[in-house]
Amino acid sequence: VALRALLRTSAWHLLVFAGSTHAISQDQITAETTSLPAWLEKVTIIGSRLDDLQGLWDADGRVRHTLAATDGDWILVRPDGYLSARGTGETSLRAALARLSGLHMR
């Protein structure tokens, strides 16, 4: 329910999945997303409560299961709720953001 509410805004969203099988620090999660475009809002989906991790808690794993996501995965969600891109790692995220940034500058 909380994720649906977040996705109802008119922004693009970057869902970053972390913290279900091992501890991942907030610094590791944000390292590859520090310079996000202004039109993109980041939402960290965490699978367990970790003291140093903030985000949306997916206690029963429903979000992960529905989106077939694991730690380190990211998913870009369009303002209309459709998935735009998905991947793992900084390189693929930067490539997807570069393509989208070109569209937002037109």
Which long-range contacts link 20-28 to residues 24+ away (Cβ below 8 Å)? 20/46, 20/47, 20/48, 20/58, 20/61, 20/64, 20/70, 20/71, 21/47, 21/70, 21/71, 22/71, 23/50, 23/52, 23/53, 24/50, 24/53, 24/71, 25/52, 25/53, 26/52, 26/53, 26/54
Reply yes or no on whether the pLDDT at 27 is more than 50. Answer: no
**How many structural domains does the chain have?**
1
Q: Which is more confidently placed, 19 or 67?
A: 67
Provide the pLDDT confidence category of residue 65 given band limits of 50, 70 and 90: very high
Owning domain of residue 1: 1-105
**Which tens digit of pLDDT belongs to each residue from 68-91?**
998 889 999 999 989 999 998 888
**Which tens digit of pLDDT belongs to each residue from 48-58?**
665 555 778 88
The enclosing domain of 43 has a CATH number of 3.40.30.10
